[in-house]
């Protein structure tokens, strides 16, 4: 790709999600991404042949603008819309600039839904984690795929917040019409400073993939 995401160096389980998606979804299927950011994972989905609904409320992520960089520097970040245009991919992405937890941005379901480390952000703590999970679930059509990567607790304060969760805790939301396909987790690891986290830091991450039953009960 000719453009680069400001999140390109951060760890992700996205390759595992994409592999399962390719096994279960037809070419040209629609994938909804909650917290699309500047398109770090949007562009690979479109390049793989999928249509994408990108939901993002941060205006800088969508339109670009000045961001704080590590080392007490500032710089200009290219937004999602500009990146899609420069890559020639904007015709296959519907950008929805709304707060996912405030409004119901879509009237239809998708073949898959994905979020990358969205619900641990403090701005999303005003609503229970279960609400975020259930809203995502409602976007998945029968037979569709649900995927989320998320931060797991490391510091003591994380253990007091349900939004720093684990695959085991997430399972309670996926009973009945759901089949858990894959869960993964990392040990603690060191990640270099990046936009949004201006110091080197030590996170843990988890992955949760589930499929919705083809016929809902």
Has residue 67 got a pLDDT over 90? no
Question: Per-residue pLDDT averaged across 159-167, rounded?
Answer: 95
C-alpha 182/C-alpha 192 separation (Å) is: 27
Question: Per-residue pLDDT averaged across 105-134, rounded?
Answer: 89
Q: What predicted TM-score, i.e. pTM, was given to this entire model? A: 0.93
Has residue 217 got a pLDDT over 60? no
Predicted pLDDT of residue 62: 96
Has residue 78 got a pLDDT over 70? yes
- CATH fold of the domain at 14-212: Rossmann fold (3.40.50)
C-alpha 211/C-alpha 147 separation (Å) is: 9
Question: H-helix or E-strand containing 60?
Answer: helix 59-63
Q: Which of 7-16, 123-132, 161-170 has the highest mean pLDDT?
A: 161-170
C-alpha 65/C-alpha 174 separation (Å) is: 38
Has residue 131 got a pLDDT over 90? yes
Cβ-based neighbour number of residue 65 at 10 Å: 13
Predicted pLDDT of residue 104: 65
Q: What pLDDT band is residue 155 in, cutting at 50, 70 and 90?
A: very high
Question: Per-residue pLDDT averaged across 47-74, rounded?
Answer: 90
If one compares 72 and 39, the residue with the highest pLDDT of the two is 39
Has residue 111 got a pLDDT over 70? yes
Task: Provide CB contacts within 8 A for 196, sequence distance 6+.
Answer: none
Has residue 138 got a pLDDT over 70? yes
Q: What pLDDT band is residue 106 in, cutting at 50, 70 and 90?
A: low
DSSP states along 64-97: -EEEEETTTEEEEEPPHHHHHHHHT-GGGEEEE-
C-alpha 125/C-alpha 57 separation (Å) is: 15
Alpha carbons within 13 angstroms on the beta-carbon side of residue 19 total 6
Q: Where are the domains of the chain?
A: 14-212
CB 34 within 8 A of CB 114: yes
Predicted pLDDT of residue 74: 83
Both tokens of 142, joined, read: 């029968």
Predicted pLDDT of residue 177: 94
Q: Is 181 exposed, middle or buried (0-12, 13-18, 19+ CB in 10 A)?
A: middle
């Amino acid at each position: 790709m000719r453009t680069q995401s400001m999140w390109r160096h951060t760890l992700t389980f996205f390759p595992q999600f994409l592999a399962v998606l390719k096994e279960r979804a037809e070419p040209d299927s629609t994938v909804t991404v909650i917290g699309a950011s500047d398109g770090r994972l949007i562009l690979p989905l479109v390049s793989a042949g999928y249509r994408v609904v990108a939901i993002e409320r941060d205006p800088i992520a969508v339109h670009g603008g000045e961001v704080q960089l590590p080392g007490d520097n500032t710089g200009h970040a290219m937004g999602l819309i500009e990146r899609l245009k420069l890559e020639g991919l904007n015709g296959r992405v519907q950008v929805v600039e709304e707060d996912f937890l405030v409004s119901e941005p879509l009237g239809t379901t998708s073949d898959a839904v994905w979020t990358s480390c969205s619900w641990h952000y403090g701005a999303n703590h005003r609503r229970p984690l279960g609400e975020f999970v259930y809203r995502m679930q409602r976007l998945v059509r029968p037979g569709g795929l649900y995927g989320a990567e998320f931060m797991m607790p490391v510091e003591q304060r994380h253990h007091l917040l349900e939004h720093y969760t684990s695959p085991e805790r997430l399972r309670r939301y996926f009973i009945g019409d759901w089949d858990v396909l894959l869960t993964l987790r990392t040990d603690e690891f060191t990640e270099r400073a990046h936009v949004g986290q201006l110091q080197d830091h030590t996170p843990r991450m988890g992955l949760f993939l589930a499929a919705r039953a083809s016929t809902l009960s």
